[in-house]
Chain A
Amino acid sequence: MTPELSALALAGLLQVVQYILMAVPANLELGPGYTASPRDRPPSREMSKTTGRLIRAMDNHFEGLILFTIAVVVVTLGGQATGFTAACGWTYLAARILYIPAYALGWRPWRSAIWGIGFLATVAMILAALI
């Protein structure tokens, strides 16, 4: 497997981890009676600050992951993989791992900077595929 595809597979697994990190405290705080319901009304109990942050971090990674998937697909299938695109792939993965504690612990302004690094790595890969 190419480095870009390995980074993509690990980023997919990272999202699974983010699911668990969000779902466990959310279920504990809202109660399984609510989370297992059709959620037609808003929950009666509130979630903690950290759980809210973990949910937003996961939602944000969905957005990042789909763009990164496109980047890996066009680089790999387009036969444009280079050392540079491999480095971008690993940079993306590292940034997205760091993004989780950055959000949960409120590292300011580092969370935004880390997000920016992941975003730039993705855009650089797509540009590398096009040029």
Chain B
Amino acid sequence: MSSELNILALYGLFTALILILKVSGATGQLGMGYLLSSRDEGRTLTGITGRLDRALTNSITAMALFAPAILILHAKGAFSGESLTAAQVFLVVRVLYVPAYGFGITGIRTALWLAGFAATVLLHLMALMAP
């Protein structure tokens, strides 16, 4: 398996881990009874769990943009040193993004998000320009 696909797989696992963390936090906050119910009345998560919930939503949005770039590069056989670096940067900053959100490190979180977004845009540009 190519390194870029490995990174995509690792990012998938990481997102699954954040989901598990969020569910554990939600179990403590809202109670197992509520989670198992049909949740007909909405309840809001607060504190670190609320932040994890928002970080998870953001991670999933980022994944939906990142995955097609990798897919197109693979289909075109256009993986390069540059695409590997961009994918590695994406993975590292997206992993750091979650604790930055969880601990409320303002500024750094946004910078990490921007770096991940820029890496994704670069990958899409590489995918577009590849023959």
Residues of A whose CB lies within 8 Å of any CB of B are 49, 52-53, 56, 62-63, 66-67, 69-71, 73-74, 77-80, 103, 106, 108-109, 111-112, 119, 122-123, 126-127, 129-130
Using a Cβ–Cβ cut-off of 8 Å, how many residues does chain B contribute to the interface with A? 26
**Interface secondary structure of B, over-half rule:** helix
Query: Can you list 19 residue pairs at the A/B interface with Cβ under 8 Å?
Result: A49-B38, A49-B40, A56-B39, A63-B19, A63-B60, A66-B64, A66-B67, A70-B9, A70-B11, A73-B5, A77-B1, A78-B9, A112-B35, A127-B13, A129-B1, A129-B9, A130-B6, A130-B9, A130-B13
Residues of B whose CB lies within 8 Å of any CB of A are 1-2, 5-6, 8-13, 15-16, 19, 35-40, 60, 63-64, 67, 70-71, 74
- Among A49, A73, A112, the residue within 8 A (CB) of B71 is A73
* B13–A126 touching, CB < 8 Å: yes
* A126–B37 touching, CB < 8 Å: no
- A9 → B minimal CB distance (Å): 15
